[in-house]
Amino acid sequence: MITVTPEEFTMVEFDHGTILALVTEVAETVGHDASVDITVEIDQDIPLIGNELRGIDPVEIFVEGGAFEDPKRIRQFQPEAARTIVGRLLLMAADRRSEDFGEVPPNEEISLLVATAWNTYVVGRLDRLGFRSQRQRRLYNFRNRHGFTDTGDAAFDRLWTAESLTWAEIVSLSDDAAAARPEAAV
């Protein structure tokens, strides 16, 4: 079962039915296990772009209202942003539930570098499913965190194109990229 709250939006011009249909479509597209319930909580009072996975069984997604807004038309729903956020968090939930992926520490224990690497891996998978991915933006973000090096670019490419990685492989790619930064050698 998929639940979206609130049922009525008063601060933003979002439609409950539209978002429910979007989450349903994204869940099907990414291959979400239909036996695992999904709850999406949207805090329409917060115009920021925060979003997080708060639980994996059932899947609990929390989104600040600004994350689903069109940046050029405030208070208006932007379906592509919502699709990418929901898809990314559903794939992360699937990774966390997968024994093959390996044990992932709690979010607060994941470094910014490794979180960036995991996001790269997840959004690369979304890209292959036809989601908006903004590859160059993701590459620039990865380089800002891991360094502008050939090793970092190779790690990004591996993360972006991989069909199946484990948590340990993601951490290793992130660590190798970070170690290749010129400032890491000092």
Q: Which among 48, 138, 165, 45 has a CA at the least distance from the CA of 84?
A: 138
Angle at 83 between CA 46 and CA 26, to 5 degrees: 130
Query: What single DSSP character describes residue 13?
Result: B
Question: Tokens in use for 125?
Answer: 């998978």
pLDDT at residue number 186: 52
Per-residue model confidence as pLDDT tens digits over 19-38: 999 999 999 999 999 999 99
pLDDT at residue number 133: 87
Question: Tokens in use for 135?
Answer: 């590859």
CA distance linking residue 90 with residue 30, whole number of Å: 8
**Residue 156 clears pLDDT 60, i.e. is over it:** yes
CA distance linking residue 14 with residue 11, whole number of Å: 9
| Mean pLDDT score, 114-142 | 96
| Mean pLDDT score, 64-69 | 95
